[in-house]
Amino acid sequence: MTDRRKRPNSAAGSPKKAALDVGQPDTKISRMRMRAAWMYYIEQMTQNEIAEVLGVGRVTIVRMLAEARARNEVKIGIQGYLSDLIALEREVEQQFGLEKVIIAPLSQAESDPIPAISAATGAYLSDVVSNGMRVGVGWGRTLLSTLSFIEARALEDFTVISLLGGISQPRRFNPAEFAWQFAQLFQGEGYLIPAPAMVDSIETRTALIERCGLKSVFEMAEDLDMVLLSVGAIETASSTPYRIGFLNEGHQASLAERGAVGDLLFHFYDRQGNLVDHPVHDLVMSVGIDTIQRVPVRVLTSGGREKINALHGAMKLIRPTVFITDEESARQLLALADGETARTEISVRKS
């Protein structure tokens, strides 16, 4: 990947020096303005390049940069907590080739990241969902927690489709309810897969899809505008499949032996993003990974120390276009990626 920070300034021979004053409120507009200023003054990107990255016109970038100067947000050197997050977002974007990264701050490194990630995810969804969209969703604690942070409003022709079956036994909360609760926030239509996330045999799975009316839901999932997913980590008992009883210790052990580090929609994969060969995949009532990979907007929202390996694999498995996480998870993910790169370089030299 080209390092744009080394590009010389067309207006002067030396790089621009700038700082971003983080005293402004962290609204969508101010955040975009700060990203534009960062890319222009620090990464030495042209206004046309910034416009392409942020998805706006060049005139808008010119106006944002002028406003940043007028607000005295551009100073000497880069300083401030929020600007550090922007730098981290850009580093993750460039490391994994992502279109957009949103990193939520944590008050303490050891804090539970789910509330912060959920708040950031809710704000993002409130901004981007619109009339006529068809959104496919997974489920889990992180996604369920975003509901209280989403700004409810009425949308026309808005559809939400659950990409994974649910749970069959009564519990205090049912994470599979996320799909229809999400749809209700926008007065849209919600479609669930009315079957367990895992069934007892290949024959049962085939019968449910072909002869029990579920085929239409799977067909709807072939024409999505966006998917919203989180990852699970199989290495701890806190993972959703384990906690709700679909996986037992034997499953976890055999999956780990095959190199599995996490799951997306109960599809288990290794750290390099390859699906592992395991019979459990024949029993899962979920949309296939190949379908997910074809969706134009793929939003991945997850974090936590136990999910770093799973996140690393997911970057390669579905190549998300939008990634939402917390700052500690982002740093650990970058450290893991740097370690992978170093090992690869050593292996190449030895060969």
Task: Kindly state whether residue 342 falls inside one of the protein's structural domains.
Answer: yes
| Pair 73, 161 in one domain | no
Instruction: Assign 294 to helix, strand or coil.
Output: coil
Q: What are the tokens at 245?
A: 């009883």
- Is 87 contained in some domain? no
Same domain, 68 and 107: no
Which H/E stretch holds residue 159? strand 159-162
* Unique residue bearing structure tokens 């997974």: 138
- pLDDT exceeds cutoff 50 at 21: no
Burial 234-246 (b: 16+ CB within 10 A, else e): bbeeebbbbbbeb
Q: Is residue 95 part of a domain?
A: no
List CB contacts of 151: < 8 A, sequence separation 6 or more.
122, 126
Same domain, 40 and 159: no
**Considering its fold, how many domains does the chain have in total?**
2
Percent with pLDDT over 90 in the chain: 54
Q: Which domain holds residue 41?
A: 4-79
Same domain for 106 and 61: no
Residue 239 has pLDDT above 70, yes or no: no
> According to the model, what pLDDT value does residue 219 have?
93
**CATH, residue 120:** 3.40.50.1360
- Give me 173's structure tokens: 């909360």
The H or E element containing residue 349 is helix 327-350
Task: Give the domain-ending residue among 79, 110, 130.
Answer: 79
- Same structural domain for residues 109 and 66? no
| Angstrom distance (rounded) from CA 107 to CA 179 | 30
Place of tokens 């750290």: 271
Residue 247 located in a structural domain: yes
Tokens linked to 85: 């997050």
Please check the confidence at residue 34 and state whether its pLDDT lies above 90: no
**CB-based contact 193:166 (threshold 8 Å):** yes
CB 188 within 8 A of CB 158: yes
- The residue length of the chain stands at 351
C-alpha angle 104-107-113 in degrees, rounded to nearest 5: 50
pLDDT at 140: 85
41 vs 98: CA distance, rounded Å: 21
pLDDT on residue 175: 59
Same domain, 202 and 294: yes
* 322-326 and 297-301 strand pairing: parallel
Provide the pLDDT for residue 13. Answer: 33
Q: Is the residue at 227 inside a domain?
A: yes
- The answer to whether residue 346 scores a pLDDT higher than 80 is no
Residue 271 lies in a domain: yes
How confident is the model at residue 25, as a pLDDT? 45
Domain for residue 154, yes or no?
A: yes
pLDDT at 18: 43
Do 196 and 235 fall within a single domain? yes
| Integer angstrom CA distances of residue 343 from 1, 256, 329, 346, 350 | 19, 22, 21, 5, 11
Q: Are residues 107 and 8 in the same domain?
A: no
Q: What is the pLDDT of residues 271-317, one digit of tens each?
A: 999 999 999 899 999 999 999 999 999 999 999 999 999 999 999 99
Report the candidate in 30, 29, 12 with the shortest Cα–Cα distance to residue 21.
30
Residues 133, 19 share a domain:
no
Flag whether 94 is in a domain: no
Strand order in the sheet with 297-301: 100-104, 322-326, 297-301, 226-229, 134-137, 159-162, 189-191
Q: What is the CATH number of the domain that holds 61?
A: 1.10.10.10
Pair 251, 342 in one domain: yes
- Taking the C-alpha atoms of residue 187 and residue 159, their distance in angstroms, rounded to an integer, is 9
**Do 136 and 36 reside in the same domain of the chain?**
no
How many C-beta atoms lie closer than 10 Å to residue 275's C-beta?
Answer: 18
